[in-house]
Amino acid sequence: MHDSRNDTHSLLVGYLTWIFGFMGAHRFYYGRQITGTIWFFTLGLLFIGWIIDLFLIPSMERSAERRYRAGSKSYTVSWLLLTFLGVLGIHRFYMGKWITGLIWLFTVGLLGAGLLYDLWTLNGQVDAINRESSPA
């Protein structure tokens, strides 16, 4: 049975981001940055890997649940904010990173380089915040 105390990543969001998975969206969401980047540059390994991932998403979700800590900040909310409002830094404001949020806001996500950085590190950033804010 699934432990609801450590709900970090949503299976539903995984499948929704799979729709854009040929760009690596679901892989970034589940903390698989290297293969997410490969999917981004190869269109999901020429769509073959993208189709195979339809069946792998449940195991990616379970792996993310074991790897990351649930807490005061939601991984899903952070990813949605990054995906749709990333150039404005709204995801950084959500995480309490006001200074970098303002920098992202006034520099269009540091001209895109900051967005790439956040694609690679967002799960780790949220995990660090959740570990700091929750008792051991």
Give the whole-angstrom CA distance, residue 2 versus residue 126: 21
pLDDT tens string 41-67: 998 899 899 999 999 999 999 999 999
Q: Check the CA dihedral 77-71-126-4 and report its sign.
A: negative
User: Model confidence over 67-118: pLDDT tens digits?
Assistant: 999 999 999 999 999 988 999 999 999 999 999 999 999 999 999 899 889 9
Q: Where are the domains of the chain?
A: 9-67, 70-136
Cα separation values, 42 from 23, 48, 74, Å: 8, 10, 30
